[in-house]
């Protein structure tokens, strides 16, 4: 028989029935199932990172820059992260974030401290400090999740560093290019200001020296004019009285003068008659025969007799002239008094106005003196301040930083790298291999249980033939697998811990959990083989493939397509991997209890299904005696 005929014969044998044909088809689809499903689940896990929950804690209080602008760098970073949709960011407080990372609610947490903005603004100083971003991870949640988180935070760090570094360097270089020149110019200006202020001080002192006497003189003038106003207030009435009295005197003097002139005329006429009388006497005496001597003697006697009359007449004539002069003077006095009375109201009004003006002048002069005093004091303060400004600027020019090379290098490094990431790991794997160890240990445990049933029978035929209790039969078929599985686990764990040097944090708990996982996987694969026979082995292989993509052994399970989410929740390997992570990395142990309960549940249900299969197989059928498919 040729090789070709033997090959065709074997093909006819394995396709001789309906079930064998389906088995061949299933075998042909195994690579497709593995490749298609695995590639579908891992086609672009980074695209589904937005389904991975991450805590974002923003404690930044903001800061005010030198130009008065308020900077909220923490809020800016938070908005950039949330709008970037790299992760399912959830803003929470610090306590909730820490607890969430610890119990697996969040894959990691990113914290922006309260002085984040202040630290970034300090890049413009010569004692800058880095803004710290705290990344809290827990490898017990997912090793690659922490690695991806580090990459995302590194991107944030680079983005903030470029932005802040450019701003700080621009401000720093621009400031130092002009600060010394401007400070020197300010110092020169302050020197000139101090000199001019000294001149102004001297001028204000002179003004004060003049304003003091001016205020005193104005006050004295005001007081004198007030007295003058009070004393001249009755002058118009008195002047009018004077004018009236002068008129009466003038009228009386006129009457007296006219009377005196009348009497003087009569006296002069009397003297004229006496002269004529003397002539008549002389003529009569001559006519009477008196001698000329006698006539002359009589005329002399008459002359002597009239001498008092002549003297009296002279006095009368003089008095009349004087009275006329007096009357004329009285008329002039009367006219002057009338003019004085008429002018007196205007004079008093002028004195009143002058007094009011003097009061205002005195008040203004006093204010001028006070203002001059204040001006002098203010100028003195300005002189002092200008001198201090001059001295301060001169000192400031010398105090402008001139950093040495190490200081400049340190400052430049901080400006170029203003953000520092502080990593806080609640639990850590230690290496890439250790990070993937929980997945591969769980996977190896399943494969170990799978290959056991290539050798072992799921149910004892002798027990079935003897119609033993189905549960007893199920346990009888399960225990050999448990013992062999335990041997597999112990050998595997010893090699990993001692040879590969991956040391779990909780060594014995990890070993015990692996033994539980092995017992559970053995029970599950036993049930599949007991219920479906050879097809059960194929189902076990399919479940292996499904769990490879849904257990979250590499990337966080949230990165798989959403239609595969039920596989993660429904299949046991995800719980085995989760429990191993927490036990190996020292994470929160509270979640391990849930994983143990789920595995125990699978164990009990699987044993129950095996017992059900044993119950059904107590009756032999032709298909069991001669199955279509034998593996």
For the segment 532-581, what is each residue's pLDDT rounded down to a tens digit? Answer: 877 788 788 888 777 777 766 565 656 655 766 777 677 888 788 878 87
218 falls within a domain = no
Q: What percent of the chain has pLDDT over 70?
A: 47
Closest C-alpha among 204, 209, 185 to residue 382: 204
* DSSP state, residue 435: H
What pLDDT does 32 receive? 42
What's the pLDDT score for residue 368?
65
Domain contains 197? no
Residue 189 has pLDDT above 80, yes or no: no
Residue 143 structure tokens: 């090793």
Tell me how crowded residue 166 is: count the other CB atoms within 10 A of its CB: 12
Q: Which of 132, 142, 134, 55 lies closest to 97, judged by CA?
A: 55
Distance CA 295, CA 284 (A): 9
- Work out the average pLDDT over 470-479: 83
According to the model, what pLDDT value does residue 26 have? 54
Question: Same domain, yes or no, for 146 and 246?
Answer: no
In a domain, 204, yes or no: no
3-state secondary structure 311-359: HHHHHHHHHHHHHHHHHHHHHHHHHHHHHHHHHHHHHHHHHHHHHHHHH
Instruction: Give me the mean pLDDT over the 217-242 stretch.
Output: 66
What local confidence, expressed as pLDDT, does residue 597 receive?
93
Q: Are residues 444 and 558 in the same domain?
A: yes
Q: What is the pLDDT of residue 524?
A: 92
pLDDT value, residue 605: 93
Buried b (16+ CB within 10 A) or exposed e, 197-225: bbebbeebeebbeebbebbeebbebbeeb
**Cβ atoms of residues 452 and 485 within 8 Å:** yes
Separation of alpha carbons 144 and 376, rounded Å: 79
Are 570 and 454 contained in the same domain? yes
Residues 619, 491, single domain; the answer is yes
Q: Please check whether residue 469 lies inside any domain of the structure.
A: yes
CB 173 within 8 A of CB 459: no
Question: 26: how many CB neighbours lie within 10 A of its CB?
Answer: 15
Q: Name which of 108-122, 149-163, 387-401 the model is least confident about.
A: 387-401
Residues 95 and 159 in one domain: yes
Whether pLDDT at 177 is above 60: no
Query: Averaged over 430-446, what is the pLDDT?
Result: 70
Task: Give the integer Cα–Cα distance in Å for 366 and 364.
Answer: 5
Residues 152 and 235 both lie in one domain = no
Residue 419, domain CATH = 3.40.1710.10
Nearest Cα to 149, choosing from 556, 578, 589? 556
pTM (2 d.p.): 0.45
Q: Residue 514 domain-assigned?
A: yes
Q: Specify whether the CB–CB gap between 107 and 141 falls below 8 A.
A: yes
- Mean pLDDT to the nearest integer, 37-60: 66
Whether residues 452 and 571 fall in one domain? yes
- pLDDT higher than threshold 80 for residue 487: yes
pLDDT at 359: 66
Counting DSSP H helices and E strands in the chain, the numbers are 18, 7
Looking at the predicted structure, is the pLDDT value of residue 30 above 50? no
What does the pLDDT read at residue 419?
A: 53
230 and 168 assigned to the same domain: no
Residue 283 has pLDDT above 70, yes or no: yes
pLDDT at 146 over 80: no
In a domain, 189, yes or no: no
Q: Are residues 482 and 554 in the same domain?
A: yes
The answer as to whether 123 is a domain residue is yes
Average pLDDT over every residue of 310-332: 70
Residue 204 confidence (pLDDT) = 64
468 and 337 inside one domain: no
Structure confidence at residue 608 (pLDDT): 92
Say yes or no to pLDDT of 319 above 70: yes
User: 248-252, 303-307, 537-541: which has the highest mean pLDDT?
Assistant: 537-541
Cα separation, 158 vs 128, whole angstroms: 18
- 602 or 332, greater pLDDT: 602
In a domain, 487, yes or no: yes
Task: Please report, for the domain that includes residue 302, its CATH number.
Answer: 1.10.287
Asked if pLDDT for residue 522 goes beyond 80, the answer is yes
For residues 238 and 321, state if they share a domain: yes
Lowest pLDDT segment from 223-227, 253-257, 475-479, 623-627: 623-627
Mean pLDDT, residues 193-217: 65
pLDDT greater at residue 599 or residue 470:
599
Residue 34 pLDDT class (50, 70, 90 cuts): very low
Which has more pLDDT, 484 or 294?
A: 484
User: Which tops the pLDDT comparison, 630 or 3?
Assistant: 630
pLDDT at 35: 35
Give me 581's structure tokens: 């992570």
pLDDT of residue 313: 65
Look at residue 42 in the predicted model and tell me its pLDDT.
Answer: 44
pLDDT surpasses 80 at 19: no
Spatial distance between the Cα atoms of 171 and 158, rounded to a whole number of angstroms = 20
Count of domains forming the chain: 3
Is 80 exceeded by the pLDDT of residue 315?
no
SS3 call for 422: strand
- Same-domain check for residues 530 and 550: yes
In tens, the pLDDT along 329-386 reads 767 766 776 676 676 667 667 667 766 766 676 676 666 666 667 766 766 676 676 6
φ, ψ for residue 586, nearest 5 deg: 80, 30
Q: Which residues constitute the domain of residue 256?
A: 225-367
Q: Is the pLDDT reported for residue 452 higher than 80?
A: no
């Amino acid at each position: 028989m040729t090789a070709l005929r033997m090959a065709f014969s074997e093909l006819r044998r394995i396709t001789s029935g309906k079930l064998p044909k389906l088995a061949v088809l299933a075998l042909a689809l195994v690579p497709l199932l593995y490749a298609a499903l695995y590639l579908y689940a891992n086609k672009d896990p980074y695209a589904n990172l937005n389904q991975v929950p991450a805590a974002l804690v923003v404690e930044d209080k903001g800061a005010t820059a030198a130009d008065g602008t308020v900077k909220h760098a923490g809020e800016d970073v938070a908005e950039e992260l949330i709008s970037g949709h790299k992760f399912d960011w959830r803003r929470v407080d610090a306590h909730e974030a820490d607890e969430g990372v610890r119990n697996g609610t969040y894959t990691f947490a990113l914290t922006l401290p309260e002085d984040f903005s202040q630290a970034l603004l300090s890049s413009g100083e010569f004692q800058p400090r880095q803004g710290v971003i705290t990344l809290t991870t827990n490898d017990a949640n997912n090793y690659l999740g922490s690695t991806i988180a580090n990459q995302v935070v590194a991107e944030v760090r680079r983005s903030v560093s470029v932005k802040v570094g450019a701003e700080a360097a621009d401000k720093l270089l621009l400031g130092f290019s002009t600060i010394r020149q401007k400070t020197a110019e300010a110092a020169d200006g302050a020197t000139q200001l101090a000199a001019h202020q000294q001149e102004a001080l001297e001028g204000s002192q002179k003004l004060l020296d003049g304003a003091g006497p001016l205020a005193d003189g104005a006050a004295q003038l005001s007081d004198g004019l007030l007295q003058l106003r009070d004393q001249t207030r009755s002058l118009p009435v008195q002047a009018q009285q004077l004018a009236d009295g002068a008129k009466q005197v003038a009228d009386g003097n006129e009457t007296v003068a006219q009377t005196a002139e009348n009497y003087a005329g009569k006296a002069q006429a009397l003297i004229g008659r006496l002269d004529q009388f003397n002539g008549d006497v002389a003529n009569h005496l001559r006519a009477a025969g008196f001698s000329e001597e006698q006539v002359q003697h009589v005329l002399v006697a008459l002359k002597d007799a009239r001498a008092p009359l002549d003297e009296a007449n002279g006095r009368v004539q003089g008095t009349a002239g004087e009275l006329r002069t007096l009357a004329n003077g009285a008329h002039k006095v009367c006219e002057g008094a009338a003019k004085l009375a008429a002018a007196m109201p205007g004079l008093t009004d002028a004195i009143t106005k002058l007094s009011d003006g003097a009061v205002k002048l005195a008040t203004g002069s006093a204010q001028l003196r006070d203002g001059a005093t204040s001006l002098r004091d203010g100028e003195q303060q300005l002189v002092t301040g200008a001198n201090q400004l001059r001295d301060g600027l001169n000192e400031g020019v010398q105090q402008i930083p001139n950093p040495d090379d190490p200081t400049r290098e340190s400052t430049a490094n901080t400006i170029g790298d203003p953000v520092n990431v502080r990593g806080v790991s609640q639990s850590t794997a230690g290496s890439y291999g250790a990070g993937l160890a929980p997945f591969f240990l769980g996977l190896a445990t399943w494969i170990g249980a799978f290959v056991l049933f290539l050798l072992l029978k799921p149910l004892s035929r002798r027990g079935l033939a003897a119609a033993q209790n189905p549960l007893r039969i199920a346990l009888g078929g399960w225990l050999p697998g448990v013992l062999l599985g335990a041997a597999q686990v112990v050998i595997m764990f010893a090699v990993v811990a001692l040879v590969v040097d991956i040391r779990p944090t909780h060594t014995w708990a990890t070993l015990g959990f692996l033994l539980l996982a092995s017992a559970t996987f053995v029970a599950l694969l036993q049930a599949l083989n007991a219920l479906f026979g050879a097809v059960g082995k194929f189902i076990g292989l399919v479940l292996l493939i499904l769990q490879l993509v849904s257990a979250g052994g590499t990337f966080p399970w949230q990165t798989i397509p959403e239609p595969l989410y039920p596989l993660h929740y429904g299949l046991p390997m995800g719980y085995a991997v989760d429990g191993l992570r927490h036990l190996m990395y020292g994470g929160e142990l509270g979640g391990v209890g849930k994983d143990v309960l789920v595995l125990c549940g699978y164990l009990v249900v699987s044993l129950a299904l095996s017992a059900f299969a044993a119950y059904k197989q107590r009756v032999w059928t032709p298909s069991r005696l001669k199955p279509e498919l034998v593996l």
